[in-house]
């Protein structure tokens, strides 16, 4: 399964409330440690895209009970992005995709953010 999401950075809500709605504390810290507002905004967009892409790859629609905070973006020491699943997202993964590895990749510019999630 594959999930992909792309967003125009101008459409990403810059508010702290939005970030708190979609992100766990570690993710908020990652976004806020960015050296400028533009990069924080880009990282918020990329974070949103990763979560949307993972939901699509795991076939989790609006009625699945999964919330954005069930999908956590983290990074390995070398900077490679990884996803840690919690709650309903973890349950869905364990029930239907436990034999597959979830890989993610993301990129962002001042204009766009994109993410892809692949179960292989």
Q: Using one digit for the tens of pLDDT, what is the confidence trace for 41-79?
A: 999 999 999 999 999 999 987 788 899 999 999 999 999
Q: What is the pLDDT of residue 104?
A: 98
DSSP string, 39-96: HHHHHHHHHHHHHHHHHHHTT--TTS---GGGEEEEE-TTS-EEEEE-HHHHHHHHHH
Q: Residue 52 in contact with residue 118, Cβ under 8 Å?
A: no
The residue length of the chain stands at: 120
CATH code for the part of the protein at 2-119: 3.90.470.20
Q: Residue 107 in contact with residue 114, Cβ under 8 Å?
A: yes
| pTM, to two decimals | 0.94
Percentage with pLDDT > 90 across the chain:
92
Domain positions in the chain: 2-119
């Amino acid at each position: 399964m594959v999930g992909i999401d792309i967003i125009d950075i101008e459409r990403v809500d810059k508010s702290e409330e939005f970030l708190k709605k979609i992100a766990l504390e570690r993710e908020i810290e990652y976004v806020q440690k960015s050296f400028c507002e533009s990069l924080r905004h880009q990282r918020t967009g990329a974070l949103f895209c990763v979560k949307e892409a993972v939901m699509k790859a795991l076939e989790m629609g609006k009625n699945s009970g999964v919330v954005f905070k069930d999908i956590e973006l983290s990074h390995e020491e070398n900077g490679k992005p990884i996803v840690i699943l919690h709650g309903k997202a973890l349950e869905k993964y364990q029930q239907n995709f436990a034999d597959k590895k979830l890989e993610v990749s993301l990129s962002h510019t001042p204009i766009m953010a994109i993410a892809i999630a692949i179960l292989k």
